[in-house]
A and B are shown apart, each in its own frame.
Chain A
Amino acid sequence: MAAYSSPEPASGGLGRQIWGTILVLLAAGAIFSMPPVVQERLASVLRNSVLAPFIGLNTAIIDTRTRAVETDRLRAVADSLTLELQGRTTLDEENRRLRDLLVLRDRLPTRWIAAEASRPGFQASAGIFYLDVGTADGIRERAPVVTREGLAGVVRGQAQAGGSQAEGMDWSHPEFAASAMSEDGLISGIVESRRGAFREQDELVLLGTEYNTLLDSGTVIVTSGLGGVFPRGIPIGEIAGILVESSAGGDARTLDEQRGFERNYTVTPYVDPAEMTLVLVERADSREQVLGTGYRPGPSSAMDSADDLSAAWPPDERMRAFERAELVPVWRDSLRMLRDSIARLVGDPPDTVPPSGGSP
């Protein structure tokens, strides 16, 4: 391309350049002096043509920033909601226990009353709990204590002189025992507590069942009603396996081998003593009196005479507390899904497991 050089004045080219420049400057002045409406129209034409790609880029960047800010805001909202929900966990848990207690209360005879269980909190009292009801409320010694999950323990005696509190022992107490049977009633035995190396390893054992019959794992064990302490049909736990104990010589032998006639099992209890805070305890009925008090029960209903309580724990509801709790918070799963969506939006891996299905 030829290099430009200013035209010589004599050629007349300079005059054309000057006049051309003047014309351009006049045009610039005219544009500058145009009415705002016309100016805006001209600007709009430029924005929608030459400048459109750059304005589009700017819009895209602003949108991205806005989304980032919105994502941060949503994450903050989700975090605050999570924090609030975590703070409500205790209330939620208590609510669930109360709801369970109401359900069970409607299914049991009227002589069963609600009570709050508390634990002394020192090591020597392992397996012991106190109820905020006592003989003044008609609670008798050896009264069964149950939860929505099943058999929790039994009342041992009076905790306070006034009879306003009772002392009980849960199934992990060494002295606990209950006559039990398989759900179909064909196999019966005695359920006792067996201490583990740690409290978390405490378990129930079903002793004294017939040697010639075999219970499968998962078989539901309920109270048999024999012995007069526990009514028939209260769930205790599920068969976990055959009990194996080591002899003094070190060889593993089952108890039935040692005794020759019995088959014994380990039982996974439905009730976790650590979660036993709200319970139902049986009051003395019309056939009994609470010794040492002036308590005299009123007329009992027709259900009070029923000895089989298995209807209060339908087969499809036999589960542990944590299993039931997992079915309740569907809304919590929704929140978890929201958090996962936000995490995916910003490219982070989800920090929660997929929600489980089911309903309470």
Chain B
Amino acid sequence: MRRGAVVLAVVLVLLHLTIRVGFGVGAGAPDFMLLALLLIARELPLAAATATGLALGLLEDALAVLSFGTTGLTFALIGAVGAATRDVFLGDSPWFGFMYVFLGKIARDVLHWLLVGPGLREPFVRSVVLEGGIAATYVAVVGAVLFTVTGLRWDAPGARR
């Protein structure tokens, strides 16, 4: 586990809470929480990544009026899958980083849409395909820029076996 990745993940979580919760900026800010989870998931063991996802998801759920636990379960699944990708993808390509975050965001929106109650769902095409696609591209670009700037790579040393 790289210390720089852990520090960056903590910073991303704090950034997410500061911008989205503290400053009240909504979708204008990228989903730094998911970015942090996707980053740390490739650094932690499978169970730990899942637990981290659950913890981060519950933080988001605590701010939602309804559907508590939805994001927790969603993030736990993403954390588990993210950790599993370490043994499947080497992650030494920039395109992997982009697609990893992009698909992670899409998966987050789809899972959330499925888990949330029918009464709270918004139209799938609008919320997942259109808005979710834009948001996924947004956070993937931000992630690519962030990792280029910080010098971190998606291929954790432990994954290169």
Contact = CB atoms under 8 A, between A and B. Distances in A.
A57 B73 contact: no
Interface residues of A, number: 40
Given A32-B73, A43-B68, A54 B21 contact: yes
Tell me which of A44, A47, A62 has the highest count of chain B C-beta atoms within 10 A of its own C-beta.
A47
A6 interface: yes
Given A4-B156, A58-B24, A34 B69 contact: yes
Given A28-B54, A32-B73, A5 B159 contact: yes
B45 interface: yes
B23 A25 contact: no
A114 B103 CA distance: 92
Contact of A25 (B21, B61, B76): B76
Interface string B14-40: 000110011110000000000000000
Contacts of B137: none
Interface residues of B, number: 41
Contacts of B87: 6
Contact of A1 (B2, B23, B59): B2
Given A2-B1, A20-B46, A21-B50, A43 B62 contact: yes
A31 interface: yes
What is the predominant secondary structure among interface residues of chain B facing chain A? helix
Nearest to B63: A51
B58 interface: yes
Contacts of B69: 28, 31-34, 39
Interface in B61-83: 61-64, 68-70, 72-73, 76-77, 80
A43 B72 contact: no
Nearest to A8: B161
Interface string A18-46: 11110111011101111010011011101
A269 to B, nearest CB: 66
B77 A25 contact: yes
A1 B63 contact: no
Interface in A49-82: 50-51, 53-55, 57-58, 61-62
B47 A42 contact: no
Contact of A32 (B24, B45, B115): B115
A298 B108 CA distance: 103
Contacts of B77: 25, 28
B94 interface: no
B68 A36 contact: yes
A253 interface: no
B59 A46 contact: yes
A217 interface: no
Interface string B46-57: 111011001001
Given A1-B1, A2-B1, A57 B18 contact: yes
A27 B54 contact: yes
A54 to B, nearest CB: 4
A344 interface: no
Nearest to A46: B62
Nearest to B3: A1
A46 B64 CA distance: 12
Contacts of B63: 43, 47, 51
Contacts of A44: 62
B47 A5 contact: no
A124 interface: no
Given A28-B69, A32-B72, A47 B62 contact: yes
A55 B157 CA distance: 38
B149 to A, nearest CB: 22
A125 interface: no
Contacts of A21: 46-47, 50, 80
B157 A6 contact: no
A6 B161 CA distance: 9
A10 interface: no
Contacts of A3: 1-2, 156-158
Given A1-B3, A46-B58, A32 B47 contact: no
A3 B153 CA distance: 14
Contacts of B115: 32
Interface string B86-125: 1100000000000000000000000000010000000000
Given A32-B73, A42-B68, A58-B22, A20 B158 contact: no
Contacts of B64: 43
Contact of B17 (A25, A51, A62): A51
Interface of B: 1-3, 17-18, 21-24, 43-48, 50-51, 54, 57-59, 61-64, 68-70, 72-73, 76-77, 80, 86-87, 115, 156-159, 161
13 contacts: A2-B1, A3-B157, A20-B48, A23-B47, A28-B57, A31-B58, A33-B69, A34-B68, A39-B69, A42-B68, A54-B18, A54-B22, A61-B24
